[in-house]
Amino acid sequence: MAEEHLTLDDVEKLATDALTGAGASPEAAASVARSTVKAERDGIRSHGLLYVPIYAEHVVCGKVDGQAEPVVSRPRAGAVTVDARSGFAHPAIDAGWPALAESARQNGIAAMTVFNSYNCGVLGHHAERIAEDGLIGLCFTHAPASIAPAGGRTPVIGTNPFAVGVPDAAGGAAIVIDQSASVVAKSEIMLRARTGTAIEAGWALDADGNVTTDPAEALKGSMAPAGGYKGFGVGLMVELLASCLSGAVLSKDASPFSGTKGGPPGTGQCFIAIDPTGFSPAFSDRVAALSAAITAQQGTRLPGGRRRANRLRIVEEGVTADTELLNRIRGFRRSDYN
Among residues 25, 35, 40, 47, the one annotated as catalytic is: 47
Is the torsion defined by CA of 65, 70, 75, 78 positive or negative?
positive
Catalytic residue among 31, 35, 46, 180: 46
CA–CA gap between residue 94 and residue 72 (Å, rounded): 10
For the question of residue 46 being annotated catalytic, the response is yes
From the list 12, 40, 128, 188, the catalytic residue is 188
Buried b (16+ CB within 10 A) or exposed e, 82-93: bbbbbbbbbbbb
Catalytic residue positions, numbered: 46-47, 188
